[in-house]
Amino acid sequence: MSNSFNFKAWVQAARLRTLPLSVSGIIVGAAMADMDGYFRWDIFVLALLTTMAFQVLSNFANDYGDGVKGADSEERIGPKRAIQSGAISSSVMKKGVVITAIASLLLAMLLIYVSFGRDHVWYGALFLLLGLASVVAAIKYTVGGSAYGYHGLGDVFVFLFFGLVSVCGSYFLFAKHLSWAAFLPAVTVGLLSVAVLNLNNLRDIDSDLKAGKRTLAVLLGKNATRNYHFIIVSLAMITSTLFLVIEYQHIANALFLVSFVPVSMHLNRFLNVSTARALDPELKKVALSVFLFSILFYLGFNIFS
């Protein structure tokens, strides 16, 4: 096992394919802010960078946590992890987690200062605590004896941080107040992000069970997990459609509905998939559909309307 720096291995461990999903909530929150006349490019760019840093931190921590606990065994169907493959040692990955955590916090502090300055100190303090919570959540998903990803709570944290915090939090960074209307698209992004995690957990249910990783899929069982997946994806489409009905002003506002075409195709495919390996391509489809939703949401409410 090599401890030397391996750029390719670190890029693979960062799992860049997860970044479009991680920034989707920021884009939706920015779209809401732009609709209300609060958008600023400096806040938007820093919010994107901070969110991507948190996601990379989560990916490194996940690689480390599952690697040292043996959850990433040879039976795992997804892409090889860095520790699992031997490309990066656990001790070096641990250092990478620490460095990335520090970089994430520094970016978060810069974002908070640019957004709130000295005029909203209490807001800044609140978001600093939120940034610290994001770092802890990213690490504690699989790291430590109380890792929440091993106790069926991964879905809850993904919904909170990828959905509510990402969309409503980013809107607050721009507007300095909450928008209750933002909660509907926030639920959509959150539930679809949970759907990505659920596909991952359903795919790995057998290997996770053997490794003692009690994800929600392991706790529910395969049949109930499949029903759960259908419900959350359906609810995701319903909540943003309700937002459209409430906020409708122009035909372009409905543009984001186009993203539900691949989501609906995914559900049809999902209902007919019988093997764990066949679920793997569906993760990417749903993740990219969430990103497409966010882009079309922005265009439909701000550019073409």
Q: State whether residue 151 is helix, strand or coil.
A: strand
- In the predicted model, is pLDDT for residue 75 greater than 60? no
Q: Compute, in degrees rounded to 10, the torsion defined by CA atoms 9, 15, 16, 18.
A: 180
Q: State whether residue 275 is helix, strand or coil.
A: coil
For residue 33, which phi and psi values (nearest 5 degrees)?
-65, -40
Helix axes of 222-247 and 260-271: crossing angle, nearest 10 degrees: 160
CB-based contact 99:132 (threshold 8 Å): no
Residue 284, pLDDT score: 92
Query: Residue 166's closest CA among 142, 145, 194?
Result: 194
What Rg value do the Cα atoms of the chain yield, rounded?
19
For residue 15, which phi and psi values (nearest 5 degrees)?
50, 65
Is this structure's pTM higher than 0.85?
yes
Mean of pLDDT over the chain: 91
Q: What is the pLDDT of residues 226-259, one digit of tens each?
A: 999 999 999 999 999 999 999 999 999 999 999 9
CB-based contact 197:135 (threshold 8 Å): no
CA angle 241, 283, 103 (to 5 degrees): 95
Take residue 213 and report the two structure tokens written for it.
């990783």
Residue 207, pLDDT score: 86
DSSP 177: S
Position with higher pLDDT, 285 vs 72:
285
Take residue 210 and report the two structure tokens written for it.
């053997």
Angstrom distance (rounded) from CA 76 to CA 154: 18
Q: What is the pLDDT of residues 167-212, one digit of tens each?
A: 999 999 999 999 999 999 999 999 999 999 999 999 999 988 888 8
Q: State whether residue 214 is helix, strand or coil.
A: strand
CB-based contact 59:18 (threshold 8 Å): yes
Q: What is the pLDDT of residues 3-43, one digit of tens each?
A: 456 889 999 999 999 999 999 999 999 999 999 999 999 99
For residue 293, which phi and psi values (nearest 5 degrees)?
-55, -45
Angstrom distance (rounded) from CA 201 to CA 186: 22
